[in-house]
């Protein structure tokens, strides 16, 4: 089977392939992923573009929250023994490095149902500002 390089996280046959990793797919399985730009053919010699981390702190925290929210609860590799998300699992979804501090801030906020605290929150904005306006 041909080899490809993942641009996006790919779940294939119950295994999560992180961006920059290689994956073997039949041409039929690869066709749609190639069209979407989620993989590139390795035999072409090209390099997969790296995803850029958001520079805005609030966007970054929301992306980390979304990545954690999308993790498979039943996949033990996604979680530490203490039940918090593995950084590698978050990075496999975001496509960019995440620090333990960022993961911990977002995780605590998610567990306490509090908005993610960022510089934007200090200016009176919060992760659930639209919900607060509707209350």
Per the structure block, which two tokens stand in for 128?
Answer: 């659930």
Q: The pTM is what?
A: 0.52
CB atoms < 10 A from the CB of 95, how many? 21
Alpha-carbon gap, residue 29 to 87, rounded angstroms: 29
pLDDT in the model for residue 106: 94
Answer yes or no: are the C-beta atoms of 58 and 119 closer than 8 Å.
yes
Q: What are phi and psi of 16, to 5 degrees?
A: -90, 120
* H or E element, residue 53: none
Return the SS3 of 79: strand
pLDDT in the model for residue 43: 59
In a structure prediction context, what are the per-residue pLDDT tens digits for the chain, which is 135 residues long? 778 888 888 888 888 888 888 888 888 888 888 877 888 877 554 444 456 788 899 999 999 998 898 888 888 888 999 999 999 888 888 888 899 999 999 999 998 875 555 544 444 444 444 444 444
């Amino acid at each position: 089977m041909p080899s490809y390089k993942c641009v996006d996280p790919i779940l294939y046959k119950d295994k999560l392939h992180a961006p920059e990793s290689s994956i073997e797919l039949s041409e039929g399985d690869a066709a749609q992923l190639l069209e979407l730009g989620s993989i590139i053919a390795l035999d072409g010699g090209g390099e997969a573009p790296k995803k850029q981390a958001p520079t805005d702190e609030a966007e970054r925290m929301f992306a980390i929250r979304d990545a954690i929210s999308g993790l498979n609860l039943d996949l033990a590799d996604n979680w530490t023994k203490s039940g918090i998300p593995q950084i590698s699992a978050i990075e496999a979804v975001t496509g960019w490095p995440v620090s333990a501090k960022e993961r911990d801030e977002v995780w605590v906020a998610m567990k306490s149902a509090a908005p993610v605290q960022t510089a934007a929150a200090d200016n009176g904005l919060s992760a659930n500002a639209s919900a607060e306006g509707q209350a």
